[in-house]
Amino acid sequence: MYRLTGVTKRYSRGKETVEALRGIDLTIEDGDQLVIQGPTGGGKSTLLQMIGGLDRPTEGSVELDGVDLARISEAKLTRLRAEKIGIIFQSFNLIPTLTAQENVETALVPLGVKPAERRERAAEALRSVGLGERLGHAPSELSGGQQQRVAIARALVKKPKVLLADEPTGNLDEGTRDDIMALLEGLWHEYGLTFIMVTHDSSIARRAPRLATIKAGQITLTEQHAQNTYVPQGQGQGQGQGQQEPYAGHGTQQGYQAY
Amino acid sequence: MFGIYLKRELGRRKKAALVIALGLALGIALVITVNSVSAGMTQAQDKVLQSLYGLGTDMTVTKARTAPTSNSSGQPRFEFDAKSNDDDTEQSSDRVMTQGGQALKSSLVTKVADQKGVAAAVGALTLNVTKVDGSFTQGKAQSSTSGSGSGQGGPGGGQGSGSTAAPQVQGGGASFDVNSYSVAGVDVTNQDLGPLAGSKITSGTAFTSAQTNAKVAVVSKSYAKENKYKVGKTLKISGTKYKIIGIATPDSSDSTTDVYLPLKQAQTLADAKNQVTTIYVKATDSQQIDTVKATIQKNISGTTVTTSADLAETVSGSLSTASNLATSVGKWLSIAVLAAAFLVAALLTSSAVSRRVREFGTLKALGWPSRRVTRQVVGESIVNGLLGGALGIALGLGAAYAVTAISPKLTAELGSTGGGGGMGGGPGGGGPGQQSASNTMEIALSAPVSATTIALAVGLAVAGGLIAGAMGGWRASRMRPADALRSVS
């Protein structure tokens, strides 16, 4: 469980001080899905960095299962990220020189997993996102949607407790967006993850069960009782036909509808 | 993962990797070339010094220079007899002088050998032989009744002029060849040290230890060729015949002595019984030569001790100039190029890290510790450095090979400084500080590459990689994982 108390983050830009977050209080239960929305520069990515242990607040505390991420040592924070937090980036952030399988393996390297097991688990994760036949492909040989699937496999291969996504569909077209969202929804249900996502996309935000809107560093929470209704459009799939793909068509199986 | 990631990254940034490697390669190649050429210079200098010393000699002891006395002209004097008019028999006269005109007592050899730090001491007598041979024709006396005239005569002849009937000497004259060569009296009981140590017997045999006073001679190859001497023939010096038993070829390019005789024979020739001109000394420890020199000078007065270091200071000519260039300009040029290469490698690596902010930020966000990210950057840099090192070693070896193949000729001028320096047994003269004549030798330069030089090159390559990697790694380690997100927000 996350408990954020009075989280404030200030940045210095020359003589000017910018307050990105202003006394945020927020509780996120295990297995919750929270979508964070807001205008550019409103502080949503900064909040995600605090939650992900990528940065520390200037004031306040960010507790994950009772551990204050703002206070623990850098080494412990790094270890915690490696074990408990999976992150998906808007621009996928894949290592361009490594293959899809090797990219997924990078998440297991800090955990000290042996190479053979690493390869097997990475292949399995890629199969689970419908890329069973793309293990040896470089990112440049994959479409945007496929690259984001590799990034999702990388985030989930270590079986994290928390999945953070920073505008995961920001660089994708509408059809691919729905594919990815259907996949993420399916994974959230399957693994019982705590899923926190930042998005600009109001159509995604509308369907979130819990919505946090950040403006000028301050948060407003909305309980929406919305139902996820993503229907995969088939993009980015088909490459893994015949492979084990539990989430590739998950949306259809669950009967999610677009709008 | 480390190896795969490293290999792929270097493959992706081939151009940058090549620029870094080439920069380091240039610096390392220059270091190898300068080092090997310097080693070649040292070898050349050693060859020059060996030609004077003989192999294995650490220093020589000669008599200290003294002011010449007023009644000792020191000039050679030749005496010939006038012959009758019809007698054109060739006459020959040899003038034998100890080199430099000053000698030491043979007993000093033992005294020097007894000094602390002296492994062996051997005495040698170096002589200059000036041979004059030719014939005289006596002038003829003729009567004349008128006119004037002049006549020339040889020694014993006369010159007349006038209109009287006095007889005039006409005709007559002399035709002489003057030939000068050097003779070294060798201690046949210890030929590993002394004038013959720098030569190999390439024909015939060397002296045996029993030939302490035998009328035998070893002739240098160049002198034998010039005078058509062969093993088995005889050589005549100042009326004494010596049987040639061997031909000696010097290890260095030039011969310093023309004829070698047993020491006692040389002493008899020069009328210098129990005298030597030079004592060749080998020290027990080559690191203690200066100490041994000081000991000898302190304990045996009236002597001059000259080490190879002293002698090296008298080397001039293109060898000396090139040697100075190699050790000064070459050294600093190498350091400058290496420093520039290290700087370029460090800046390029740092710049590459800056371009990979998102990549390293992502890895940190995934939970990679800073040390693992740093290790990755340093690893890439070291491989780059080793690549540059391999390239540099290849370039350096090529350059060294080219220098050896071209073998540029360098001249070394060895002259006494007039201050008591100079070595006994110098080629064709140049006694122990007695003469100011200099000797010029031509040496072919080579550029030997030692294992130490290669080890130095590898060390520099790793150092270059480490320096560049340290700078890049430092930047990477300071990078915050939030940068991975911020770069896209």
Mean pLDDT value across residues B413-422:
46
In a domain, B299, yes or no: no
With an 8 Å Cβ cutoff, are A78 and B367 in contact? yes
* Predicted local distance difference test score (pLDDT) of residue A86: 93
With an 8 Å Cβ cutoff, are B1 and A81 in contact? no
In a domain, B155, yes or no: no
pLDDT bucket at A240, cuts 50 / 70 / 90: very low
Per-residue model confidence as pLDDT tens digits over A81-140: 999 999 998 888 999 999 999 999 999 999 999 999 999 999 999 998 888 899 999 999
Domain count, chain A: 1
Residue B30 has pLDDT above 50, yes or no: yes
Residue B161 has pLDDT above 50, yes or no: no
The more confidently predicted of residues A82 and B423 is: A82
**Per-range mean pLDDT, top range of B153-157, B287-291, B419-423:** B287-291
pLDDT bucket at A229, cuts 50 / 70 / 90: low
Residue B13 has pLDDT above 90, yes or no: no
In a domain, A21, yes or no: no
List of residues 6+ apart from B2 with CB closer than 8 A: B375, B376, B379
Mean pLDDT value across residues B163-192:
76
* Predicted local distance difference test score (pLDDT) of residue B484: 57
* Predicted local distance difference test score (pLDDT) of residue A62: 94
With an 8 Å Cβ cutoff, are B369 and A98 in contact? no
pLDDT bucket at B416, cuts 50 / 70 / 90: very low
pLDDT bucket at B483, cuts 50 / 70 / 90: low
In a domain, B172, yes or no: no
Q: Name residue A240's amino acid.
A: G
Per-residue model confidence as pLDDT tens digits over A40-81: 888 888 899 999 999 999 999 999 999 999 999 999 999 999
Instruction: Give residues 14 to 33 of A whose Cβ lies within 8 Å of B.
Output: none
With an 8 Å Cβ cutoff, are A166 and B488 in contact? yes
Given phi > 0 = left and psi -120 to 50 = alpha, else beta, which region is B162?
left
Residue B86 has pLDDT above 70, yes or no: no
Mean pLDDT, chain B, whole residue set = 77
* Parent domain of B438: 2-52+318-486
Q: In whole angstroms, what is the distance from residue A145 CA to residue A151 CA?
A: 10
With an 8 Å Cβ cutoff, are B368 and A78 in contact? yes
Residue A258 has pLDDT above 70, yes or no: no
Nearest to A106 among B358, B363, B488 (CB): B363
Residue B151 has pLDDT above 80, yes or no: no
* Predicted local distance difference test score (pLDDT) of residue A139: 94
DSSP B184: E
Q: In whole angstroms, what is the distance from residue B261 CA to residue B96 CA?
A: 14
With an 8 Å Cβ cutoff, are A93 and B358 in contact? yes
Mean pLDDT value across residues B197-221:
89
In a domain, B44, yes or no: yes
Residue B421 has pLDDT above 50, yes or no: no
Nearest to B369 among A48, A75, A107 (CB): A75
Q: In whole angstroms, what is the distance from residue B163 CA to residue B295 CA?
A: 77
In a domain, A39, yes or no: yes
In a domain, B70, yes or no: no
**A200 with A145: CB under 8 angstroms?**
no
**A33 with A208: CB under 8 angstroms?**
yes
Domain count, chain B: 1
Which chain A residue has the Cα nearest residue B359?
Answer: A95
Show residues of chain A in contact with B488, CB under 8 Å. Answer: 89-91, 93, 166
A76-86 exposure pattern, b = at least 16 Cβ within 10 A, e = fewer: ebbbbbbebbb
* Predicted local distance difference test score (pLDDT) of residue B168: 67
Strand-pair partners of B411:
B442
* Predicted local distance difference test score (pLDDT) of residue B408: 79
pLDDT > 90 fraction of chain B, expressed in percent and rounded: 10
Residue-by-residue DSSP string for chain A: -EEEEEEEEEEEETTEEEEEEEEEEEEE-TT-EEEEE--TTSSHHHHHHHHTTSS--SEEEEEETTEETTTS-HHHHHHHHHHHEEEE-TT----TTS-HHHHHHTTTGGGT--HHHHHHHHHHHHHHTT-TT-TT--GGGS-HHHHHHHHHHHHHTT--SEEEEESTTTTS-HHHHHHHHHHHHHHHHHHT-EEEEEES-HHHHHT-SEEEEEETTEEEEEE----------STT-STTTTS--TTTTHHHHHT----
H or E segment to which residue B110 belongs: helix B107-113
* Predicted local distance difference test score (pLDDT) of residue A239: 39
Residue B487 has pLDDT above 60, yes or no: no
Which chain A residue has the Cα nearest residue B12?
Answer: A97
pLDDT > 90 fraction of chain A, expressed in percent and rounded: 49
Which chain A residue has the Cα nearest residue B371?
Answer: A75
* Predicted local distance difference test score (pLDDT) of residue B61: 87
Mean pLDDT value across residues B417-434:
37
CATH number of domain containing A111: 3.40.50.300
Residue A24 has pLDDT above 50, yes or no: yes
pLDDT bucket at B101, cuts 50 / 70 / 90: low
In this prediction the pTM is 0.60
Mean pLDDT value across residues B417-425:
37
In a domain, A42, yes or no: yes
Most B-contacting residue of A98, A108, A109, A161 (CB-CB within 10 A), to test interface = A109
Residue A256 has pLDDT above 60, yes or no: no
Measured between CB atoms, does A75 come within 8 Å of chain B? yes
Lowest mean per-residue pLDDT among B3-12, B23-32, B154-163, B219-228: B154-163
* Predicted local distance difference test score (pLDDT) of residue B322: 67
* Predicted local distance difference test score (pLDDT) of residue B136: 66
In a domain, B438, yes or no: yes
* Predicted local distance difference test score (pLDDT) of residue A182: 83
Which chain B residue has the Cα nearest residue A113?
Answer: B1
The more confidently predicted of residues B166 and A76 is: A76
H or E segment to which residue B171 belongs: none
**B250 with B199: CB under 8 angstroms?**
yes
List of residues 6+ apart from B486 with CB closer than 8 A: A45
**Per-range mean pLDDT, top range of A124-133, B134-143, B403-412, B424-433:** A124-133
* Predicted local distance difference test score (pLDDT) of residue A249: 36
Residue B163 has pLDDT above 60, yes or no: no
Residue B132 has pLDDT above 50, yes or no: yes
Strand-pair partners of B124:
B278
Which chain B residue has the Cα nearest residue A166?
Answer: B485
With an 8 Å Cβ cutoff, are A89 and B368 in contact? no
With an 8 Å Cβ cutoff, are A89 and B484 in contact? yes
Mean pLDDT value across residues B221-233:
89
List of residues 6+ apart from A218 with CB closer than 8 A: A22, A23, A24
**Per-range mean pLDDT, top range of B304-313, B366-375, B440-449:** B366-375
* Predicted local distance difference test score (pLDDT) of residue A179: 81
Q: Which of B412, B406, B413, B411 is nearest to B447 (CA)?
A: B406
In a domain, A180, yes or no: yes
H or E segment to which residue B410 belongs: strand B409-415
H or E segment to which residue B176 belongs: strand B173-186
* Parent domain of A98: 28-51+82-254
* Predicted local distance difference test score (pLDDT) of residue B84: 56
Q: In whole angstroms, what is the distance from residue B57 CA to residue B197 CA?
A: 9
pLDDT bucket at A238, cuts 50 / 70 / 90: very low
List of residues 6+ apart from B408 with CB closer than 8 A: B444, B445
With an 8 Å Cβ cutoff, are A81 and B488 in contact? no
**Per-range mean pLDDT, top range of A34-38, B352-356, B383-387:** A34-38
